[in-house]
A = this chain, B = another copy of it.
Amino acid sequence: MRKICVVITARASYSRIKTVLQAIQAHPQLDLQIVVAGSALISKFGNILPQLEAENLPVSAIISNLLDTESSTASAKTTGLAIIELATFFANHRPDVVVTVADRFETIATAIAAINMNIPLAHIQGGEVTGNIDDRIRNSISQLADLHFTATRQARTRLMGMGLPAQKVYCTGCPSIDLVRQHRHIDFDPYKMYGGIGARPDLNKPYLVVLQHPVTTEIIHSKWQIVCTLRALATLGMPVVWFWPNADPGTDGTAQGIRAFREANPGLPFHYFKHMESDHFIQLLKNSACLVGNSSVGIRECSALGVPAVNIGSRQRGRERGSNVVDCIPDADAIVAAVKQQLAHGHYPPVAIYGDGDAGVRIADRLATVPFILKKHLLPS
């Protein structure tokens, strides 16, 4: 039995890795250790513990390490704390492999703790290009990892170009796409189940979904950028289901922008959710007229769903995309034009750039069978 430790530090990462967790748990030769840390433990960013419990995914340990997000040092210190405490977890629970996902600033903590303790590291979603600071962190983790599971063929090629050995880089597809295939209609009442504030538009009529995060290198502009989007959607006047941003630095600017605009524009048909279980989110997404914002969801999940996406600004720059995406700059007029173009077009045929729906099972199989290079060299006899 190999012990596989998966560290989850944000709600978004959980959604990306859920089918991997399920496949590891179901695998006869794997023993799953889940560590939950960072914003994944905090209600306002979407505490995932209730959801893990609902899915019968047992948590081995929780590690609170999120500093108050306002400080410029918060993300560095959150990362430092995570390394310290993950080292203790690894020393006590001795996983055979540690799995980390994607490119969040605190993801590198998992990698560093594992590397320093000579534990093989598997990385999911390496080799992609998004054109911002996340690229550096993602590539940096790829350089530390022993085993790579990429979402796309192009990502695999890119990793090998960076010098990583071909026999350690597998294109498995992205586990987040696994979740997309099962869903069809909205089978729950989002307002009743998740509360939130604002108007409660009828979701049987055309509506937009918004998911816009602050851009890490543009902290001071967070407020301004969110206001552009708010103005554009106010101009359009369509019903909007708006999801609160996650815990990056700059969140507060985005949050302030939304709050101020709401107070100044009370009658708009916008509803705001803090977070939503990923299955439910995919339902809402699949049935929407268009996704607006700068989340990778517009490029990844929406390509598999065929949902039109308006991608604003630089955050997803360089990411491989299907024909369902229209890019625009963070400007109210540009956003209005792009959304109108997408509404005129309607849904697209789904494509499989980011996976065919079996990534979780493929990754678990590899974790069970890949021979790890012996790090401890043999002595001469």
Contact = CB atoms under 8 A, between A and B. Distances in A.
A73 B137 contact: no
Nearest to A91: B73
Contacts of A62: 88, 91-92
Helix, strand, loop or mixed for chain A's interface? helix
A77 B64 contact: yes
Contacts of A219: 118, 376
A236 to B, nearest CB: 19
Task: Please indicate which of the listed interface residues A61, A73, A379 has the most CB atoms of chain B within 10 Å of its own CB.
Answer: A73
28 contacts: A43-B70, A64-B67, A64-B68, A64-B72, A64-B74, A65-B77, A66-B71, A73-B91, A73-B116, A73-B117, A75-B116, A75-B117, A76-B87, A76-B117, A77-B84, A77-B87, A79-B83, A80-B83, A80-B109, A83-B83, A85-B85, A108-B112, A118-B133, A139-B143, A161-B162, A161-B163, A215-B377, A217-B375
Given A77-B81, A81-B80, A143-B143, A377 B217 contact: yes
A76 B83 contact: yes
Contacts of A112: 76, 79-80, 108, 112
A277 interface: no
Contact of A71 (B42, B86, B143, B218): B42
A377 B329 CA distance: 12
Given A85-B84, A85-B88, A379 B224 contact: yes
Contacts of A220: 376
Interface residues of A, number: 75
A234 interface: no
> Which 3 pairs from chain A and chain B are nearest by CB?
A80-B83, A76-B87, A64-B71
A274 to B, nearest CB: 13
A69 to B, nearest CB: 8
Contacts of A133: 115, 118, 375
B81 A68 contact: no
A186 interface: no
Determine which residue in A111, A252, A379 has the highest number of CB atoms from chain B within 10 A of its CB, and name it: A379
A279 to B, nearest CB: 25
A379 B215 CA distance: 12
